[in-house]
Structures are given as structure tokens and as C-alpha cells.
Structure 1
Amino acid sequence: MVGVAGRSKGCNTCKRRRIKCDERRPKCARCLKAGYKCAGYDRPLQVVLSTPHAAAEGKAKSSGKHTPGPLLHDQQEPNASLILAPFLPLPSKLKDDLQFAFVFQHLVWSSYASPWLQLSASGRLTALAHEAALAFSQSAFGRHHRLREIELSSAARYGRALKQLQTSLQKCNASETADLLVPVLILLMHSCSLYTTEESQVHVRGIHDLLRSCGPKPFQQEPLRAALSSTRATLVTLALIDKRRLFLEDARWREVPWSLAPVEKPAAEELVDMLVFLPGLTQDVEYQSRTTSDLLTTHLTERLVEIFQVLFRWRWAWNSRYPLAAWEEERQAPAVAGWKPAYPGISSRLLRFASPERASDVLLYNTILIMVLGLLRQLSSWVEVELAIKRAIANTQPVEAFARNTALNMPTAGITACTAAMEIARAFDYHLQPQRIQTPALYWLFPLGLAKRTLFADSAWRAFIDHMMETSRRTRGYGSEIMGGAGFGSYILRNCEMGLI
């Protein structure tokens, strides 16, 4: 027989949790309310082997009578009233592939860690990187599916990877130290996913020490250059949270790793070269608020205006290099009588890009714009900030006429934190399309978290951002307040006021 199912009509998730299901379709509301992914109502196919003798014996038992059969028949055909096909153990390699596939399909880390996480998973980097990747994928897979045995195996692998890392640090020279960056990054992702703050801080300190000991030169080739880009994203975000100057603002770290690249430096990396200065400036602005030094205020204002000028020059050059980078499309409304948009305050036109890389550029550009505006606002009045912006635009606007991209905000169109935050949200909406979800992106949650904070007073935009976060399987839960350190608090300037306008 096939298709044998239990008596419960509830969804598979509630059945596994052993709670009563409300049986709503297509998705159980009880699962969605509790934050679980409803697995639906389709039952797995079971194969049951049954013999005629067993069926007859089952009928006899149900009637209370015993029907004796020939002894020879009983010996040749044992009782097989219910024999389920056994579950065959999966080969180890197949298990690993399934767990890695889960990480690459469902976790936001896979965008942050491309391509070095994929290379580690396939064993094409060091043995230590492969061991760390196995531990991370097992942990994520086991936690998601509540498989305690896999979680314990992951913890054992994590411990072995830590011991191997300690041994390698004691034996390797300066050039070999750079190869340890990828394993340490994977171990950091592992500890962050488990919300173990102390272990995560240890790994972050280890990354600081590792980079300082080997310098920027070992990162001139791939995939270590990509790993350094991921590291810059992590360290800059943490330095902004801590309001602490970062050694990555040194010119050597901004130039040497890309000096041998066969192609020009990516536009996003040019933006990060500006972003690395903001932790130190944030620290200086906070110090100025305690000292109220007019000389320091003037110096910091001039420094921020300089960053504005560099940022606007980058924006004009980017527009010249990619004149057709973005456009708008009408949002398709469902053909339902009386339909109204879920978010009436949001633009009815969708923002679309020539490539995911261009969308990432726009995310990061507006992030820097918002932060510099916030720092300027702490130092000066709004009138003075407007004058500083106009001065920066006048010093950077090119004389020659570039093809204007009307789909995006240009520096001359009026600069506010709110318009920049709205453009971040619209660019993020593009990133979440299914065909682009696999694209590497280092700065996803940080820009969107900053945009949400900037638009906090606008209920329509705030709801739109929350909806986007919950729609994607990769970002679901990261915008939730109950996620604590794993939510937006890890990506926006936690415990500090930026003076956003």
C-alpha cells in the first residue's frame, strides 16, 4: 500500500511540534504567528509491504477469532502486516552537500561570504577552511531542522577547527597567516549565528591582530582579496557601532590589495574607501560634543564636507560610467476588483537596475550620504548643513553634460536623509527578486537598517521595509525586535544617536 497517512489533518510543522493546528490553508496561521515556516499539508509518501496472510490475520484479530494456518506457510511467510521500508543512511558526502546547499539558499551569510565560503565548502582552499565550513553548515542545518545529533556533531567540528587554528597560528609565518583569514571569518559567522557574543568578540579581535600582523600585501590575489572585502564590511560596521577609529582608513589598506587587480577597482570598493573614515569621525564628533571646541568643530565640519565632495565626484563619475544603470517600471497590480495597494505611501513605480552590482552601489552611496548628513547635523544647524551641501555640489558638479538618470536621486535634486533612505528601500526591493537573490552583496542589512531608522516616523515606509525583510527566506527574522543581537541592532548604530534628519 502507498500513501498511508496518520489521522491528524494538521500541517506538517504543527504535527512535528505536537501542537493543535488551526488547519488554515495554504499556510497555517499558528505557524506564521509563532515565527515558524509552515511545511504545508502534503504527507510524505510511505511504502508499506503487506502479505495476503497478514491481511487475513489482521481481519481475524479485529473479529476476535484466531484463524490457524499451516505451519509451513507461517515459516515461509512471516507476519508482515506492517513493514515500513527502512530509512537508508545518507552517504557522508551527500549529507555535506545538502547542508551546504541549505546555507547557500537560505542564509544571508552566503551573499556576504561569496566566493570564499563556496570555495571552502568544496575543499578548494585549506583543510582548516573546509572543516570550519562543515561546522558552520551543520550548525545552521541542525538548528533549522531541530536535529540535535547534527548540532552536536557541529559543536565537535567547531572545537576541532579552533584547535587547528591555534596550532596553525603558532607555526605559520607572516605570508601563511593571511590564509587563516577565511577560517576565522567562517568561525565568526558560526559564533554570530549562535548568538555567542563573547566568542564573536574573540574572533573579531583575532581578525584585527591577523590583519595587522600580515599587512595588506598578501591580499592582492583572489580569493583573499574578496575575503578582505568581507572583512572590511564587518570591521567597519562594528567600528561604527563602537564609535572607534579603524586602522583600515590607512592609505595602504585602501590601495595595496587592489594594485595588482586585472580590472579597475569596483565602484562599491571606492565607496568603502570613504566609509572607513566614518568610524573615526563619529568618535571625533562624540568627543567634540563633550569639549565644545569651536576649532575642533570647524575642523570636523571641513573634513565632512571633503567627504561630501569625494562622494559627489564619485556619483557624477558613476553616472557617466553607467548612464543606463537604473530605470523605473510600473508596479503590476493584481486584476481584482476594488484592489488597493498594501502600502499607499510607497511609490507605485518599481526601481530596476542593469545589474545587482549597480543596485549595491546605490545602497552604499545613500548609506554614506545619510551618515555624513547625520554627523554634520550634530555639528551645525540645518541652515549651515544646507550651505555645506551646496558648496560641495558646486565644487564637484562637472561642466560637461552627462546623460542624466532620472530614476535616481542626483546631488543637484536636493539632498535629505529621508530621500536617500527611500532610495535604499527601493534598491533593496530589487535585490530581493528571486533571480537576483544569489548575487554577492556585502552591504545588505546595514543600509536597510539605517533606512528604517531614518524613516521610523513614516509608518508606510517602515511597514514596507518590514514586509521586504519577512518576504525573503534569507532575511526573514533579521528585522524582528525579538531577534536581539541578530536583528537590526547588529547592523545599525546601536546604542548611539546619529542625529539623523
Structure 2
Amino acid sequence: MVGVAGKSKGCNTCRARKVACDQQKPACARCTRSNRVCGGYERSRVFVTVQPGAKKKHVYLKYSPSPSGSPTEVSPRAVETSTLTLGGDDQALCSFRERAPAYTLLQRHHESHNLVLYFLANCLPPDWSKSPSKSWITLLTELPIKTQALEVSGVALAAAAVGHKFNDPALVRYSHSLYTRGLQQLQRALWNRRLAQDDATLAACMALSLYEATACPNAGSEGYFGHCQGLLALVEARGIEAHCSGPGHQLFLGVRMPGIIYALENHSSSFLSDAAWLNQPWGQTPKTPFTQVVDCLAQAPGILQQVFLLPSLSPDQQIEACFQLIAECWQIDAKLDMVYAAMQGGSSDPLYWPVASKSPPQAAPEHTENLFPFVFHFADFETAATLILLWAVRVLLWSGLCNLYDGMFPNSCMLPADESVGPLRALGHRREYVSMAYHVCQSVEYLMQDEFLLAGPLSVTPALGIVIDSLRYQPGHAAVVAWLRAALDLVRQKGLGVLEHSR
């Protein structure tokens, strides 16, 4: 990474051929005359971390430059060795101890950028950068580096994900030190009135939040939900106008799901369910089906909050509140029907179809039977991510409707499904909300395919959590809940460590 006295300064191609190079740029004349591709003059870069307590043993990630300079052609390899030297000289590579030269060098933008590029290329599917609901994670390399918070936070996330992927505990441990520095840099940015409103600061907060979800450094979910709370506060302080276009809008899309899940956990509504926040950020961008499903989910925390307040009301107030809540639930159900119908009408091919399962049964020891020998295959990843969330929201919605009906009319479950309940319309097929839970279970295998990398677990987790919370206190669903918990454990193994500490 630094020049070594006496070493050739020729291009990589001439060095490999062991011939003299005239060092012309961008391509040397010797390579041009012999019709060879000039490999350029950029040397391999090495990221070095020190095994705690070791004196000479290092683990390092080496990046070899490609002639085209394409990020996808950078090929890292993890290496462990007892002595690391440059080119046979006796000059050892510097370790990443605090204030050591190599530690400082890693923080340079170019090296940080390379590690983040490798994370994007090897931990996330390439289609994420092209889909209509483009992930905010791609902004780690697209946003100008205006704050150290974004650079350090992005590298912390990348190091943790890469370390987990290649089972490199040293890199994972090093990511924790970067995470700590990222928190410090983020706090400084938030104290700066100008930087606090910058997209890069919100992106840094998002990166640290995802780091907590993946690495879970404090062995608990408190850190992750603390970040979610901070994200909500930062977005609300920035205002709606900051999230109507460009990176601000992209970041807002990323904030909504963890923000809503946080509100569900606390049974409290947030500004995300306000009409202005549900509509104005899309003044310049049409809503995708996935976005519309998230709109429906955004209203759930407020409804749950009102349900938990029912016992504090008088009998007459309870009846009035229940009628209002039931009306809101039916409106959301109609919206979900419209989204699903639009998805079906927008494609001449089926959205999904059953296929034989290729995975072993995912069940707790007391439920060893294969509950789902047939699973769903989908038209594409985005369709799968949309439908699994839509079905999960329906489980939450329909089970809630049944509970409200039973609370007002205790014998309503004894009536035929197509018969109205007092002044309320018939529930019909909505009584069978467990069928939607089955649909969620049958979608997991597709989304957890290796080709979807970290995107699969990120898409599956909210749906599984919603269904588990909806069914775990309902009688007769123990086998399905056990299957869902086993699926969550598989997701945890794929990179979301915070799930180990979920309820």
C-alpha cells in the first residue's frame, strides 16, 4: 500500500512478464505495441486486522486491482499467516493498532470505498440497485462523503457483513471498533445544525441501525430499537420536504419499515401513519405495490394502541371505539384487495405457483412433521417480498377483526362465516386468517435462496415477526408458530444476529 524502495514502478502487466516498462500512462507503450492489456499501475491493497493477544498472527483482506477498474471484478481473499511481509523484504506489514500508520490508512476514503463496494457486490443482489424500490444501502457509495459518520458507519457495516459471510471473527471484531467510532462521529454530526439535516447523516444512522441488526454487539435488541427511535426522530425533524425526491426519498423508504416495527413493538402510533406522511413524499414518485402494503401496515400501531386503551373506557365509549376500529380495519382490508388485484392485473403470468419443497422441515423438535411439502415460487424477488408482507398484514388484520367481533358479540364465532354479526358485515373467509399464515410460511424458502444474499433475510424477517405476534396467543396454532420460530432462527444464521434476542 506504500512504495517500497527498490521495487519496480512499472505497470502490473510488465511486472508480471518481468520486462522493462516505459511507465507511460494510462497504458505503457510496450503493452500497446505487443497488443496486450496494460494492467495499470495500481498495486494490491491490504486490509490488516490483528488477532487479539497475538504478536505476529494477522488476518487480512487483499484486493487486487483489475484492468477495467470495475468494482465487481475486485476479488478479495481472506488469508491467515504467521508473518506478513511485502515482496520478500523484511519489512512487516503494520497492524491496525490505535494510531498505527496502517490503521490511519484504512480510514482513507479510497480503501473504505473498496470495502463497501465489496459488501454491496457480495452481500446484496445486484437487482437491488435497479428495482423500483431501490434500497437505501446503495447510497453508501452514491452519496458524497460529507461527514466522517457516513464513511466510518458504512465501513463498519461492510466489515461486519463480510466478516460474517467469510466466518472471519477478526474482521467482525474490528467492525465493532469502527461501529463505536461511527457512533461518535454521528453524534458530532447531529450536534452540527447543517450536518444534522444532511442526507449523509441520515444514511449513517441507517447504516449503524443495520449494523445493530446484523452484528448485535451488545447481545440484545435494545440497541437496534434505540436506533429505530433515533431514526424516527431524525426523519420527523428533517420534515416532509426533505424526503420527497432523490436520496432523501430513498432513505425515507428505508426508514419506514423499521420505524413501523418499532411502533408495533411499543403499541404506539407515530407520525408515519399521518395522512401527510403517507402521501406527500410521493408527489414526484409513483407508489409501488410494496409501498402501498407498507402504507396499510403503518396504520396498525395506531389501531393496536386504541385496542389497548379500550379497558380504560366506559362501556358506551368502548362500543363506539370498537365500531370505529372495525370500520378502519375494513378500509385497510379493501386497500389490500385493491393492491393485490392491481398486481394480478399488471401481469399476464401468475404472480406465484406451488412447487415441491427442497428444504428439510423447519420445525421445533416437538413438531417434526413437514408442515409445508409444497412451497411457492414467485415471478421475481420484488413480487415475493411484496406478497409475503401483504399476507402477513392480512394475518394481523383478520385476526384483529375476529377479536374485535368476538369482544362485541361473544357468540359470533358460532355463526356461519357468511352471516352478518348484528349490525356488522360477515367476516367470511377472513375467519381463516391462518391460511394467510400458511402463505407466509410457504414463501420463506424462495426468499431465503442463496442468490438473494442478505436481501432475503431482510425481506422475510418483518413478515415472520408479524405473524408470530398475531398467532402466538391464539389457541391451536402451536405447530405453525414453532415452524415460524425455526424459520427465524435460519434467518438469524444468515446474518441477522438481533433475532437471537427477539421474543
- Aligned residue number for residue 145 of structure 1: 168
1:251 aligns with 2:271: no
**What's the % identity of the aligned pairs?**
18
Contact 1:178/1:214, CA 8 A, preserved across alignment: no
Quick one: which amino acid aligns to residue 138 of structure 1?
A: A
Q: CA deviation at 1:124?
A: 4.7
Q: CA deviation at 1:279?
A: 0.4
Q: Aligned in 2, Cα 1:345/1:171: closer, same or farther, shift over 3 Å?
A: closer
Q: Aligned in 2, Cα 1:348/1:274: closer, same or farther, shift over 3 Å?
A: same
Tell me how far apart the structure 1 counterparts of residues 121 and 411 of structure 2 sit (CA, whole Å). 48
Q: Gaps spanning 5+ residues in structure 2: where? A: 1-50, 52-78, 95-101, 360-366
1:351 paired residue among 358, 376, 382: 376
Superposition map of 1:467-478 within 5 A? 468-469=487-488, 475-476=493-494
2:185 paired residue among 149, 154, 164: 164
Tell me how far apart the structure 2 counterparts of residues 378 and 435 of structure 1 sit (CA, whole Å). 40
SS at match of 1:308: helix
Q: CA deviation at 1:370?
A: 1.2
Q: CA deviation at 1:146?
A: 2.9
- Aligned residue number for residue 445 of structure 1: 461
Tell me how far apart the structure 2 counterparts of residues 379 and 279 of structure 1 sit (CA, whole Å). 16
Tell me how far apart the structure 2 counterparts of residues 259 and 120 of structure 1 sit (CA, whole Å). 25
- Aligned residue number for residue 295 of structure 1: 320
Q: Aligned in 2, Cα 1:365/1:440: closer, same or farther, shift over 3 Å?
A: same
1:233 aligns with 2:246: no
Superposition map of 1:356-375 within 5 A? 356-375=381-400
Superposition map of 1:83-482 within 5 A? 92=106, 97=114, 101=118, 105=122, 115-121=135-141, 124-127=144-147, 128-139=149-160, 145-147=168-170, 151=173, 154-173=175-194, 176-192=197-213, 193-195=216-218, 199-200=223-224, 202-261=226-285, 264-291=286-313, 292=315, 293-331=318-356, 345-381=370-406, 384=412, 416-437=432-453, 439=455, 443-452=459-468, 457=476, 461=480, 464-465=483-484, 468-469=487-488, 475-476=493-494
Tell me how far apart the structure 1 counterparts of residues 471 and 187 of structure 2 sit (CA, whole Å). 45
Tell me how far apart the structure 1 counterparts of residues 117 and 266 of structure 2 sit (CA, whole Å). 33
Tell me how far apart the structure 2 counterparts of residues 454 and 352 of structure 1 sit (CA, whole Å). 25
Q: Aligned in 2, Cα 1:332/1:86: closer, same or farther, shift over 3 Å?
A: farther
SS at match of 1:223: helix
Q: Aligned in 2, Cα 1:101/1:461: closer, same or farther, shift over 3 Å?
A: farther
- Aligned residue number for residue 486 of structure 1: 499
SS at match of 1:444: helix
Tell me how far apart the structure 1 counterparts of residues 501 and 350 of structure 2 sit (CA, whole Å). 29
Q: Deviations over 1:354-382 (max 9, x none)?
A: 11111111111112111112322332228
Q: Deviations over 1:456-477 (max 9, x none)?
A: 65566456545655556x6548
Q: Deviations over 1:113-151 (max 9, x none)?
A: 964334315775544312211123335556853328x73
Q: RMSD of aligned C-alpha atoms?
A: 4.6
Tell me how far apart the structure 1 counterparts of residues 80 and 337 of structure 2 sit (CA, whole Å). 60
Q: Deviations over 1:428-485 (max 9, x none)?
A: 221112333465786421211333456665566456545655556x65486xxxx7x5
Q: CA deviation at 1:179?
A: 4.0
Tell me how far apart the structure 2 counterparts of residues 475 and 111 of structure 1 sit (CA, whole Å). 22
Q: Aligned in 2, Cα 1:453/1:429: closer, same or farther, shift over 3 Å?
A: farther
Q: Aligned in 2, Cα 1:259/1:286: closer, same or farther, shift over 3 Å?
A: same
Larger Rg: 1
Tell me how far apart the structure 1 counterparts of residues 305 and 160 of structure 2 sit (CA, whole Å). 37
Contact 1:258/1:265, CA 8 A, preserved across alignment: yes
Tell me how far apart the structure 2 counterparts of residues 322 and 185 of structure 1 sit (CA, whole Å). 34
Q: Deviations over 1:321-360 (max 9, x none)?
A: 23524343542779xxxxxxx9755344331111111111
SS at match of 1:380: helix
Q: Deviations over 1:204-227 (max 9, x none)?
A: 343233222221212222333222
Tell me how far apart the structure 2 counterparts of residues 390 and 432 of structure 1 sit (CA, whole Å). 40
Q: Gaps spanning 5+ residues in structure 1: where? A: 1-15, 17-43, 49-82, 335-341, 397-410, 495-501
Contact 2:471/2:477, CA 8 A, preserved across alignment: yes
The more displaced of 252-261 and 94-103 is 94-103
Quick one: which amino acid aligns to residue 283 of structure 1?
A: Q
Aligned length: 382
TM-score of the superposition, structure 2-length normalised?
0.62
SS at match of 1:244: coil
Quick one: which amino acid aligns to residue 147 of structure 1?
A: A
Quick one: which amino acid aligns to residue 338 of structure 2?
A: R
